Structure 1
Amino acid sequence: MEKMNKAMEKMKMLVGIEVEQEEELQSSNMSSFIDDFNRECTLSTQQRLYGFATCLVSGLACTLLSMLVFFNPIKFGITFTFGNLLALGSTAFLIGPKRQVTMMLDPVRIYATAIYIASMIIALFCALYVHNKLLTLLAIILEFGALVWYALSYIPFARSMVSKVMVACFDTEF
């Protein structure tokens, strides 16, 4: 029974329910606005899963629907970027927005996060304001590469492995 309780506590931590931290905050009386907001806006596990599934399915649908307008880079850039934002936001339902931002700003993936967010902003800027199809297409390629690199930052040793494979594939010395 004790093992089952520990497993449930670990599962709650993975989903973002942090009971121990809430008790510590209440006892220390040192709470910030974000902590107060998180305590007031708690979601049940079922609500978190529904929110995750809804955002993820919507994001994937936008990303897949963007393929229909692939030859119009401006519309493609908008729908593809919006799909990426929805898919990225879906994980905030599982682990919570505060933990999501903390993980994104982790020293291991801070550069990948910055490049990914900057590439989304550049793609939207090129699509909405510049209206240049070539620049929008280049920004989408940059965004896709940044998305892959950002996703690889969550898999241990994945980025170093991909880097070594790319160097081996494109090595010009014999």
Structure 2
Amino acid sequence: MDSIKSLLGEKPQEEKGLWDDINNQCSLTFTQRIIGFCICAGLGVLFAFLAFIFILSPSSFAFLYTVGNILMLVATGFVVGPMKQIKSMVQPTRLICAIVFVLSMILTLVGVFYGWSFIIIIFLIIFQICALLYYIFSYIPYGRQCLQGVCGSVVSV
């Protein structure tokens, strides 16, 4: 039947997948996206600043800082849309950055909830900060190379 429709000039309808259905169900207006972004970004910044109040308590700092990072990631999802955010994160140029960043957040939360030692929590916080920087710089043209050059020059000194 599709071949007959194509002969008549009608384009056959493409099959829509599960992600297309979810994306259509979750479509937001521009105003709703801005409101969602502002709320999530505001809460993310608030949690990040609250984390620095608890800087002497690594577990509290790690939890608040990680929740702040998650909220900021959700906030950017409101701006570009969740599917475009995920597609952008799994592009070959930033797939490793995204995986390392998400895993660093998951490991930090696991460490906090399972009561891992003080030193491991501090290591996970530092690892998460480095992963966040590398992930952010993956969106800037030649950003990762610039960051690697700066870090390389600091280490060699």
So what's the TM-score if we normalise by structure 2? 0.88
Q: What is the rounded CA distance, in whole Å, between the counterparts of 1:170 and 1:73 in structure 2? A: 26
Instruction: Return 161-170 or 63-72, whichever deviates more.
Output: 161-170
Give runs of aligned pairs for residues 17-56 of structure 1, distance below 5 A. Answer: 28-56=13-41
So what's the TM-score if we normalise by structure 1? 0.80
Q: Percent identity?
A: 29
Residue of structure 1 equivalent to 2:140: 155
Residue of structure 2 equivalent to 1:108: 93
Q: Does 1:67 align with 2:27?
A: no
Deviation by residue 1:79-130 (Cα, 9 ceiling, x = unmatched): 1100000001101111111110000001111111111111111111111103
Q: Which runs of 4+ in 1 moved over 6 A?
A: none
Show structure 2 runs of 5+ residues with no match: 1-10
Asked if the contact 1:63–1:84 (Cα under 8 Å) also holds between the matched residues in 2, the reply is yes
Question: How far has the Cα of 1:52 moved from its partner?
Answer: 0.6
Equivalent pairs, count? 147
Asked if the contact 1:91–1:100 (Cα under 8 Å) also holds between the matched residues in 2, the reply is yes
Q: What is the rounded CA distance, in whole Å, between the counterparts of 2:142 and 2:90 in structure 1? A: 18
Distance 1:27 1:70, change over 3 A: farther
Q: Does 1:80 align with 2:65?
A: yes
SS in structure 2 opposite 1:170?
helix
Question: How far has the Cα of 1:171 moved from its partner?
Answer: 2.5
Q: What is the rounded CA distance, in whole Å, between the counterparts of 1:171 and 1:41 in structure 2? A: 49
Distance 1:97 1:27, change over 3 A: farther
Deviation by residue 1:50-71 (Cα, 9 ceiling, x = unmatched): 1011101100100110111111
Question: How far has the Cα of 1:166 moved from its partner?
Answer: 2.3
Residue of structure 1 equivalent to 2:4: none
Letter in 1 for 2:56: F
Over the aligned positions, Cα root-mean-square deviation in angstroms equals 1.5
